[in-house]
Amino acid sequence: MKSSFVKLLFLIAFLFTLNLNASTTSNKYFYAKKNYTTAVLVGNREKQKKYLKDLVKFGTILNKDVSIYKKKLKRFSLKRLFIQNNKSVKYTKKTPPVSTKKYSIKSIKTFENQIIIDFNHNVSKKYIKFTEKRNANIHSDIFDIQGNFKDASPLKLRINNIQKIWVSQYRYRTLRISLSNSYNIKTIYKIEKKRIIIKAYPKKNIRINKNKKIKIINTTSKYIKNKTIVIDPGHGGKDSGAVGPHKRWEKNVVLKISKYLYSELRQNGFKVYITRNKDKFIELKNRTKYANRKNADMFISIHANSVPKRKASKVTGIETFFLSPARSERAKRVAALENRADMKKISGYSSKNIVLSLLNRGKITASQKMAIDIQGNILYNLKKYYGSKIVDKGVREGPFWVLVGAQMPSILIEVGYISHPSESKRISTSAYQKRIAHGIYLGIISYFSKN
């Protein structure tokens, strides 16, 4: 009798321990799931990998379907093949990653029917190899380019009338760009010092006259019908924004650029509104409220950048931001300058970041696409006239209070550094302002034609 009682006690203890372990495992699983989501939002790859392992481990114990987490984890551990000393070597997760300085390809961007690949060094014809493939009804033009690009993960691009463009790091030192259509496309490429430009001409969008000159058919008109854009010249009134040499005020420069852009958009069939057309102060929150009332398809806030005097002669460039919690110190610094008029109402950087990460999340992807198109077209248009004087500071995420609350894709453009002696002078001239405005206009056309 005593032996049976002891066995019963052991059984109860075992069941209790089993239940406790199951409860602990379940808590660990949901804890890992929560932290993995946070790691994805802030872009921390190391933590993503750690919590994916936990999700697979504890999810398997709980008999949950963890196949999706296994696939994601596999991406972090994929073995890549590259050529080293004429021998095939496996590039495993144990191999130290290449530092950013060693990436030979600086950026990849699109403009109308072009893919523009910028390198950190001069290139020649030997850097590019072209092949053409046909699989069933799919025609593919494939470009294998010698170099590596840090954002090839893979990357999807879009240009006019091409159904699919796929960019991937095919091998360690080979970037592959594949353009695919249901009908044959004509592609050409040219090399310009540190740049390779790929142009695509779909058959149904070209006409060849008797002199065998290709004429591209204009297809932009259908994309601008009924589109509404709100332009927001930054600062104004009591808020002068940044002040450059010889009392060049940001609020005046950006107002002139905004007016040039307003005129060009109106002349080309867009419905356009501007948050201020004179030197007037408007609270940041009221700018996007105005855009929402007008049911705008796009909100563009125009600003000029600045740095302290000790760095003023060294820092130049154009950059475009879309709303998201900042991931770089520069984005935080720029946002702090532009937010100072209203951001005091929210105390603490972490509180601001929480607000910004919750608001407008659904429009972040569209805003990023718009930022890429507009940044690329501004640079393309300005470099035709000013060459190497134009510096590309890129497309970045930033916590800009003026973009919070916008119910449409929205961006903030920093047209240059008003603190820099030469760039300040340049952005204060009407010729330069018109060219910036025209570059933004081309970017808007490009965005609507693809989306």
pLDDT digits (tens, 9 = 90+) for 221-279: 555 668 999 999 998 999 888 888 988 999 999 999 999 999 999 888 899 999 999 99
Mean pLDDT of the region 175-199: 84
Q: How far apart are CA 372 and CA 378, in angstroms?
A: 10
pLDDT score of 130:
86
pLDDT score of 217:
38
Q: How far apart are CA 315 and CA 228, in angstroms?
A: 35
Banded pLDDT at 55 (limits 50, 70, 90) = confident
For tokens 């991931």, what's the residue? 327
303, containing H or E segment: strand 298-305
CA angle 217, 222, 227 (to 5 degrees): 140
Q: Residue 191 pLDDT more than 60?
A: yes
Q: Is 82 helix (H, G, I), strand (E, B) or coil?
A: strand
Residue 62 vs residue 215, higher pLDDT: 62
Mean pLDDT of the region 204-220: 42
107-121, 187-201, 360-374: least confidently modelled range: 360-374
DSSP string, 364-417: HHHHHHHHHHHHHHHHHHHHHHHGGG--EEEEEEE--GGGTT-SS-EEEEEEEE
Banded pLDDT at 417 (limits 50, 70, 90) = very high
Residues whose CB falls within 8 Å of the CB of residue 327, separated by 6 or more in sequence, listed in order: 42, 43, 397
Tell me the domains of the chain and their CATH numbers: 2-77 (no CATH), 101-216 (2.60.40.3500), 221-450 (3.40.630.40)
pLDDT score of 357:
47
| pTM metric for this prediction | 0.51
Of the chain, the percentage scoring pLDDT greater than 70 comes to 71
160-169, 333-342, 381-390: least confidently modelled range: 333-342
- Asked if 304 contacts 241 with a C-beta cutoff of 8 angstroms, the reply is yes
Banded pLDDT at 329 (limits 50, 70, 90) = low
**Rg of the chain's alpha carbons, rounded to an integer?**
27
For tokens 């690009």, what's the residue? 149
240-244, 319-323, 356-360, 431-435: least confidently modelled range: 356-360
Burial (CB count <10 Å: 0-12, 13-18, 19+), residue 31: middle
Q: Which of 150, 198, 194 is nearest to 175 (CA)?
A: 150
pLDDT score of 265:
92
